[in-house]
């Protein structure tokens, strides 16, 4: 039951209203499954036709979903369901060679993408945003915007003017925009992006199913102009400047009968086994990596067909899991996918039932967007795990009995899910945004920023202007002599610095991927490792030692990471040392 998405007529009205109101920010508030992500080329086509943008940058919160959207754009000609995307791109003069991605996924960079039999293309990575259509991560985009060119973070001279100039002539689509509202640094950088969009006349489109008034106020404030596009009949959160005809989507979505029940955590495996036994495809959302692995292990012991997806899988193993899951969804046989919140953003899959550890109501709405998503299924069962959900969610759980979890506004005898977003807003208090904005002022506002000031910000704030947490690359040792490039790239995992602390007993060395004679090679840097290993328990000092390793080494090094011994990783369970707690 995937929606129709935005059509050219809708895009005309969105672009026209932005011009009429002199508003360079648009909020696209449409339900999960409506087709927001693949609507960006269609909106861009109209903005381009009006001379408002020469290129488009589609920003996603997680690198894990960049590949999926990149492949959909690249292969749009070969898919009938993406014909509108292909026509919009071609109409704006964007061919396959003009479509690129930007993330830390070096495996994708060295991959060949097969769009259809006998038709394949080499993936194109573009950290400078030179291509006319770029799908990128929030981290990469914000670094380029804040004059920290992602391609030159560790170089003595950083040429930030080039990617900044590309942003200046682009339309920027911030997908899954609700993700930025949980971290004061991401809120701060997005607020500055909104200021930039209005003052520099750069079209900025915020897209999310669960972006409420509080999200919009945090990002846009009261002094910037913004228009809102939403489904016809949606009056939640004030005006709707452009109404999108969603009659067919609403008719199908409102036919779903949501059955919401509480479940004890001790009954999760039993309930999942029961549902799979009658042929149901079940999504189990677990907030902890450790618990996700435990639930998966118990399901396998019971003989239940299941897969595990969390942030501690290597790029290659994660790709295999997603491929298996898509295959099983197509064959419509019963199975369970146990996943952490990495499943919440932009993953286009449809299940029959869900079991949820609910941090908030937004997570319930997002997960329900993956239940009965692509087809009608009558009753949709959703089980909320009592001991693992937030107290205020449990206190308000009765409100779910009369709420449509797919439609934001009231319809028939049911309330829209927007009332749940208001409850989330009243239970969320993010502090420290003002301080983060002040820290970013020195990068964002000056026309010229010295290399010294860029380095100072990086060392004091652990790298990213988009998040407070520090992300570090680790590589799983393939366990044989002569480490080859494909092995290393396929066995890469991005982890939080605190995870490195938990994995220190398995940390074995520091690897560099460097360019030699036009080819990438893998090598150990034992001198750098001596400094790094002494700081594994201290995230800020760890970042500084990694930064020193990259800046003091060869200028031909393109990536680096900590080598984890093979016994610290299991192909099915993932990185074992991070399964001692924590989200993700």
Number of Cβ atoms within 10 Å of the Cβ of 327 = 10
CA distance 541 to 537: 9
Instruction: Indicate the CATH number for domain 255-405.
Output: 3.40.50.300
pTM to 2 decimal places = 0.93
Residue 35, Cα to own-chain centre: how many angstroms? 16
The strands making up 281-285's β-sheet, listed across from edge to edge, are 257-263, 379-385, 353-356, 281-285, 335-339, 306-309
Which range is least confidently modeled, 93-97, 218-222, 242-246, 254-258? Answer: 218-222
Domain boundaries, the chain: 8-246, 255-405, 469-578
Residue 74: its pLDDT value, please? 95
Whether the predicted pLDDT of 63 surpasses 90? no
Residue 27: its pLDDT value, please? 92
Residue 121: its pLDDT value, please? 92
Superfamily of domain 8-246, CATH level 4: P-loop containing nucleotide triphosphate hydrolases (3.40.50.300)
Whether the predicted pLDDT of 213 surpasses 60? yes
Whether the predicted pLDDT of 321 surpasses 90? yes
The half-sphere exposure of 353 on its side-chain side, counting CA atoms within 13 A, is 25
Arithmetic mean of pLDDT over the chain: 89
Q: Per-residue b/e over 26-53, b at no fewer than 16 CB within 10 Å? A: bbbbbbbbbbbbbbbbbbbbbbbeeebb
- 400: helix, strand or coil: helix
Q: Percentage of the chain with pLDDT > 90? A: 53
Average pLDDT over residues 386-390: 93
- 489: helix, strand or coil: helix
CA distance 62 to 64: 5
CA distance 69 to 108: 13
pLDDT band for 75, please (50, 70, 90 cuts): very high
pLDDT band for 229, please (50, 70, 90 cuts): very high
Residue with more model confidence, 140 or 463: 140
Average pLDDT over residues 38-63: 95
CA distance 149 to 128: 7
Average pLDDT over residues 10-18: 96
- Helices 8-21 and 40-49 cross at an angle (nearest 10°) of 50
Residue 1: its pLDDT value, please? 46
What residue spans of 92-149 are helical by DSSP H? 106-109, 138-145
Question: Strands 119-122 and 204-208: what pairing?
Answer: unpaired
Same fold, 8-246 and 255-405: yes
Residue 300: its pLDDT value, please? 96
Residue 354: its pLDDT value, please? 95
Question: And the tokens for 521?
Answer: 């090679």
Average pLDDT over residues 113-120: 87
Beta bridge partners of 521: 514
Question: And the tokens for 80?
Answer: 């009938």
Contact assessment for residue 353 and residue 380, using Cβ atoms and an 8 Å cutoff: yes
- 470: helix, strand or coil: coil
Question: And the tokens for 483?
Answer: 């480490």
- Percent of the chain as helix, strand, coil, to the nearest 5: 45, 20, 35
- pLDDT, tens digit, 9 for 90 and up, residues 330-369: 888 899 999 998 776 656 788 999 999 999 999 899 898 8
Contact assessment for residue 212 and residue 424, using Cβ atoms and an 8 Å cutoff: yes
Number of Cβ atoms within 10 Å of the Cβ of 386 = 15
pLDDT band for 580, please (50, 70, 90 cuts): low
- List the end-to-end C-alpha distance of the chain, in Å, as a whole number: 28
- pLDDT, tens digit, 9 for 90 and up, residues 413-441: 888 888 888 888 888 888 888 999 999 99
Contact assessment for residue 175 and residue 59, using Cβ atoms and an 8 Å cutoff: yes
What residue spans of 222-378 are helical by DSSP H? 247-253, 268-277, 289-301, 315-331, 361-368
Contact assessment for residue 408 and residue 234, using Cβ atoms and an 8 Å cutoff: yes
Contact assessment for residue 3 and residue 249, using Cβ atoms and an 8 Å cutoff: yes
Which range is least confidently modeled, 105-109, 286-290, 512-516, 552-556? Answer: 552-556
- pLDDT, tens digit, 9 for 90 and up, residues 88-109: 999 999 999 999 999 988 778 8
């Amino acid at each position: 039951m995937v929606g129709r998405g935005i059509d050219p007529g809708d895009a005309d009205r969105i672009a026209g209203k932005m011009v009429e109101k002199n508003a360079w920010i648009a909020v696209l508030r449409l339900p999960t499954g409506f087709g927001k992500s693949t609507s960006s080329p269609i909106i861009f086509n109209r903005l381009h036709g009006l001379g408002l943008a020469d290129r488009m940058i589609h920003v996603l919160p997680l690198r894990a979903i960049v590949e999926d959207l990149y492949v959909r754009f690249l292969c749009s000609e070969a898919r009938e369901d993406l014909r509108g995307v292909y026509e919009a791109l071609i109409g704006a003069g964007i061919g396959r060679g003009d479509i690129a991605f930007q993330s830390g996924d070096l495996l994708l960079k060295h991959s060949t993408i097969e769009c259809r039999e006998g038709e394949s293309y080499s993936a194109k990575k573009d950290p400078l945003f030179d291509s006319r259509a770029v799908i990128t991560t929030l981290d990469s985009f914000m670094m380029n915007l804040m004059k920290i060119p992602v391609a030159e973070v560790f170089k003595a001279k950083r040429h930030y003017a080039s990617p900044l100039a590309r942003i200046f002539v682009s339309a920027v689509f911030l997908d899954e925009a609700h993700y930025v509202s949980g971290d004061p640094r991401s809120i701060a950088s997005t607020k500055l992006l909104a200021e930039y969009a209005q003052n520099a006349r750069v079209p900025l489109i915020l897209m999310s199913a669960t972006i409420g008034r509080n999200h919009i106020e945090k990002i846009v404030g009261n002094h910037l102009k913004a228009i809102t596009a939403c489904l016809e009949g949606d009056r939640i959160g004030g005006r709707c400047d452009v109404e999108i005809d969603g009659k067919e989507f609403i008719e199908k979505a409102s036919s779903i009968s949501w059955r919401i029940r509480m479940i004890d955590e001790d009954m999760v495996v039993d309930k999942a086994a029961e549902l799979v036994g009658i042929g149901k495809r079940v999504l189990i959302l677990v907030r902890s990596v450790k618990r996700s692995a435990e639930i998966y292990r118990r399901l396998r012991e019971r003989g239940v067909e299941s897969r595990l997806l969390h942030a501690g899988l290597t790029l290659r193993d994660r790709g295999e899991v997603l491929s298996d899951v898509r295959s099983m969804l197509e064959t419509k046989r019963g199975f369970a996918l146990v996943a952490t919140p990495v499943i919440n953003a932009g993953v286009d899959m449809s299940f029959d039932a869900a079991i949820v550890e609910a941090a908030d109501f937004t997570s319930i709405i997002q997960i329900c967007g993956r239940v009965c998503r692509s087809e009608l299924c009558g009753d949709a069962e959703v089980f909320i795990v009592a001991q693992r959900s937030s107290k205020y969610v449990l206190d308000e759980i009765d409100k779910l009995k009369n709420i449509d979890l797919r439609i934001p506004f009231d319809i028939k005898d049911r309330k829209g899910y927007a009332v749940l977003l208001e409850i989330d807003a009243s239970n969320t208090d993010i502090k420290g945004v003002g301080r983060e904005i002040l820290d970013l002022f020195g990068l964002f506002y000056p026309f010229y920023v010295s290399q010294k000031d860029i380095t100072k910000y990086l060392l004091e704030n652990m790298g990213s202007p988009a998040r407070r947490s520090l992300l570090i690359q680790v590589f799983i040792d393939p366990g044989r002599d002569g480490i080859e490039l494909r092995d290393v790239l396929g066995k890469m995992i991005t982890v939080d610095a605190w995870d490195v602390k938990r994995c220190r007993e398995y940390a074995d060395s520091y690897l560099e991927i460097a360019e030699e004679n036009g080819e990438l090679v893998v090598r150990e840097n034992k001198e750098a490792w001596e400094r790094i290993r002494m700081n594994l328990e201290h995230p800020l000092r760890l970042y500084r030692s990694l930064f020193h390793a990259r800046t003091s080494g060869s200028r031909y090094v393109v990536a680096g990471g900590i080598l984890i011994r093979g016994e610290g990783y299991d192909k099915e369970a993932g990185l074992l040392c991070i399964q001692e707690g924590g989200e993700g």
